[in-house]
Amino acid sequence: MAYKNIKITKGNAGFGGPLIIEPNEHKNKVLCVTGQQVSPVAKKIAEMTGCELVDGFKTTVPDDEVAVAVVNCGGTARCGVYPKKGIMTVNVEPVGAVGPLAMYIKPEIYVSDVKESNLFYTDETNASTASTAEEELATADGPKSKEQAKAEVAAAQGQKKQNLVTRIGVGVGHVVNKFFAAGRDSIDMVIRNILPFMAFTSTLLGIIQASGLGNVIAHTISPLCSTLPGMIAISFICGMPFLSPILGPGAVIAQVVGTLLGAEFAKGNIPPQYSLPALFAINAQVGCDFIPVGLSLGEAEPETIEMGVPAVLYSRIITGPIGVIVGFLLSFGLYA
């Protein structure tokens, strides 16, 4: 089958790219991991390239067969999982290099805010630096086998014997660099994830107080969260298989509702003993968008993913209410 190369550019609010997708007889799958509905962008990519479209919530394929992965991650781990594997990644959401895997989200392998209008046919190809270097070496000195190259490297390393002081210095430098890198990554994560969320929470609370939305919430959500049956109903709705993958991305729903409920708990509109079960009630859907990605990271077989994704999704409508009941029982005496 003849495959066609395409060029994918970022949207107006996007990051990264452009990506050149070059499918072949082996790497000919478009993996779509966008919840219960296959993204139109993924469909268009498959149509233009001639690749096979695979729904990541129903099955999976080996990583070396994926030409491009399409996600709708709002900034959690999913947008960095496939770049970490070296797979070209298209995010339909306007998300840059964020999340715990931000170091793998690079412009040459990741592009975001992609719409169907950002897809183009192209004749461009990706030049391989490794093949270029091999060609230059073959032209200059003749081709070398892998065994010859390894022997030359081993001989060069054998000629450099380090004394005790040098080895100690190298070891100390290695440890210091590790600690320095850990500190840098920690600060980077705080700046990229924690501080923006704090600003978002402050802004949201300000809007709630200024608009009077808090009063509306107090009269609608508060009654549900102040009774055990109401919280069980919330967890059941959030855990429905056709809703949970949509409510899960970026944990946005849990963040927003949690912020609103926190304000109501602080005002005394909801008794504090209901805070623990309320936490379980609004988090029944968390992680449902990540299930196929998690199974893929665990190198699960395609058959396992086909059965595992719906099994976990359906289990949430059972474990969600159970979690609320357990949280309710454990909350006795906490605020006496």
Give the residue numbers marked as catalytic.
73
Residues 6+ apart with CB under 8 A from 115: 11, 41, 92
Cβ-proximal residues to 285 (8 Å cutoff; 6+ apart), any chain: 238, 239, 243, 244, 245, 247, 248, 253, 254, 316
The neighbour count for residue 181, using CB atoms within 10 Å, is 10
Distance between CA atoms of residues 11 and 280, nearest Å: 36
Contact status, residue 231 vs residue 224, Cβ threshold 8 Å: yes
In this structure, are strands 89-91 and 66-71 parallel, antiparallel, or unpaired? parallel
**Please, what's the b/e burial string for 123-148 (b: 16 or more CB within 10 A of its CB; e: otherwise)?**
eeeeeeeeeeeeeeeeeeeeeeeeee
Burial of residue 267 (CB within 10 Å: 0-12, 13-18, 19+) is exposed
Task: Please give the Cα distance from 189 to 299 (Å, whole number).
Answer: 27
Separation CA 306–CA 296 (nearest Å): 11
Rounded CA-CA distance 35/242 in Å is 9
291 within 8 A of 312, measured Cβ to Cβ: yes
